Structure 1
Amino acid sequence: MFTIKARHLAATLDRVAPHRYQADDDAHDLDVLVLDCTPGHLHAVGCSDRTLAVARTSVTGDVWTAPVGYDDAAALRGWLESSEIVTVEHVTSGGHQQLRFTEGPAQITVPAASHTGRLPWRALLRLALDARDHPLAVGRPVQLNADDLALWGNAGVDGEAIEFRSLGPVGTMVTAGPDFLGLQTPHTWDGPTPGKGWSSSLRTRLFLFAGAFLEVGGRYADAAGMAWVVPARPGPGEEPTLVSADYAAVTLPISQVLAGGKFLIRLPD
């Protein structure tokens, strides 16, 4: 449980909300907005067929992850408009994983989306950051602010791809199809190195139970072949709880899942 300013939570949701699969796409298994909490940050993760976006805001919370349907995320975003300081809780009720947002007597409960695939966003971003820092990486970074991007939005008026290519100190060349060419003057921002400070957010969230490691958000199979998800890291002295990835509203302590005597098998992402 933690508290957060409503405007900070709303801004975090807004930064990733545009990144989702279109209605005619087949990959609805990942058409969710993921809320993911670590001890230092709350992350919001959006994914489409071509993009991955992660925004975060500082909190002092527990460790959990919950996929949320976009309609529920939109309802939460509207509720935040009339809020100031919100308490956020990750709970399990009636076999369902839920996120509860409270301010005084006002409350909204958002259910976790069931039967969704796991989005390995941490691994994907670690790969991207490693590639950027590789000594054989080619090219220079291109930095554009939101106003810059708005200026180039109509360059591909007929659906052409818009390419941004760094020319070093000269600036950034912008092309779109055979009939458009532009140049963006370079920026001299003195900001942090992109990706710096994200190591804690991208670290694998493993915890030890009964001599074996489990990962928050990871999918596991039991002896009967049923798939389970680890939704949160248990508190000190608490038993981990597992949520069924096969049947909605089935939540069990790990001791019951392991009644067959065999430990869980990690499933690939």
Structure 2
Amino acid sequence: MFTIKARALAATLDRVALHRFRPDDDAHDADALVLDCTPRHLHVVGCGDRTLAVARTSVRGDVWTVPVGYDDAAALRAWLESSDCVTVEHVTRDGHQMLSLTEGVAQITVPAASHVGRLPWRALLRLVLDARKRPLAEGRPVQLSADDLALWGSAGAGGEAIEFRSLGPVGTLVTAGGDFLGLQTPHSWDGPTPGSGWASSLRTRLFLFAGNLLEVGARYGDITGTAWVVPARPGPGEEPTLVSADCAAVALPISKVLAVGKFLIRLPD
């Protein structure tokens, strides 16, 4: 549980909300935002057909991850418009996991999107950041402001892909199909190194329970063939809860799962 300014949560949602699959894409099991909490940050993750976006804001919270359907995320975003400071809590109620947001007597409950598959965004970002250090990735970065991007957007009005290529100190070459060339003069850059300060956000969240090393957000299978998700790290002295990975999304204490399923095997992402 943590408390956050409504405008901070709304801004974090807005930064990734446009990153989603097109309605005609066969990717309904990924059409959601992922809200992922660590002790230092709340992350909101959006994924599209060619993009992955992660925005975060500082909190003092627990460890949990919840996929939220876009319709529910939109309802949450609208509710935040009339809020000032809200309390966010990850709860399991009637066998289902959800997020409960309250401000005084006002409350909104956002259910987990049980149809959504696991999005290994931390692993993907670690790969991207590591690739920057490879010889093929060496070179000057292409630096564009939001105003720059707005100017170049019309270059692809006919559906052409817009390509930006660094020319070093000269600037950036812009092409869009075979009939457009442009040059963007360089910006000075004194911003942070990409990935700097993200070590805690990209760290895999593991905990040990009854001899089992479990990862928050990971999927596990038991002897019956049932797949389970670990939605959150339990508090001290608490028993972990597992959520079935099917549409029913039933939540059970791990002891009840093991009583029938006997053991848990980590499933691939």
**TM-score bracket for this pair, using the shorter chain length:** over 0.9
Residue 249 of structure 1: CA displacement? 4.5
Residue 137 of structure 1: CA displacement? 2.2
Counterpart-to-counterpart distance in 1, 2:212 and 2:258:
13
Closer, same or farther in 2 for the Cα pair 1:261/1:26, shift >3 Å?
closer
2:97 matched residue in structure 1 = 97
Counterpart-to-counterpart distance in 2, 1:195 and 1:261:
40
On the 8 A contact 1:6/1:86 being kept in 2, the answer is yes
1:149 matched residue in structure 2 = 149
Q: Residues 7-35 of structure 1, C-alpha deviation per residue, up to 9 Å, x if partnerless? A: 11111000100010111111111001000
Percent of residue pairs identical: 83
1:195 matched residue in structure 2 = 195
1:123 matched residue in structure 2 = 123
Residue 146 of structure 1: CA displacement? 1.2
1:165 matched residue in structure 2 = 165
On the 8 A contact 1:94/1:249 being kept in 2, the answer is no
Superposed CA RMSD in Å reads: 1.1
Residue 185 of structure 1: CA displacement? 1.2
Q: Residues 218-245 of structure 1, C-alpha deviation per residue, up to 9 Å, x if partnerless? A: 0000111100000000011111100011
1:54 matched residue in structure 2 = 54
- Number of equivalences: 269
Q: Does 1:110 align with 2:110?
A: yes
Counterpart-to-counterpart distance in 1, 2:111 and 2:244:
15
Residue 138 of structure 1: CA displacement? 3.8
Residue 261 of structure 1: CA displacement? 6.8
2:222 matched residue in structure 1 = 222
Counterpart-to-counterpart distance in 1, 2:247 and 2:121:
24
Instruction: Give 5+ residue unaligned stretches, structure 2.
Output: none
TM-score (norm. length: structure 2): 0.97
2:243 matched residue in structure 1 = 243
1:7 matched residue in structure 2 = 7
Supply the AA of the counterpart residue of 2:88. V
Residue 134 of structure 1: CA displacement? 2.2
On the 8 A contact 2:222/2:261 being kept in 1, the answer is no
Counterpart-to-counterpart distance in 2, 1:255 and 1:43:
30
Q: Does 1:66 align with 2:71?
A: no
Residue 203 of structure 1: CA displacement? 0.7
Counterpart-to-counterpart distance in 2, 1:153 and 1:56:
27
Supply the AA of the counterpart residue of 1:169. P
Supply the AA of the counterpart residue of 2:35. L
SS at structure 2 position matched to 1:56: strand
1:175 matched residue in structure 2 = 175
Runs (4+) of structure 1 exceeding 3 A deviation are none
Supply the AA of the counterpart residue of 1:104. G
Counterpart-to-counterpart distance in 1, 2:99 and 2:261:
32
SS at structure 2 position matched to 1:154: helix
SS at structure 2 position matched to 1:66: strand
SS at structure 1 position matched to 2:256: helix
Q: Does 1:234 align with 2:231?
A: no
Residue 115 of structure 1: CA displacement? 2.4
On the 8 A contact 2:68/2:111 being kept in 1, the answer is yes
Counterpart-to-counterpart distance in 1, 2:16 and 2:133:
25
TM-score (norm. length: structure 1): 0.97
Closer, same or farther in 2 for the Cα pair 1:261/1:70, shift >3 Å?
closer
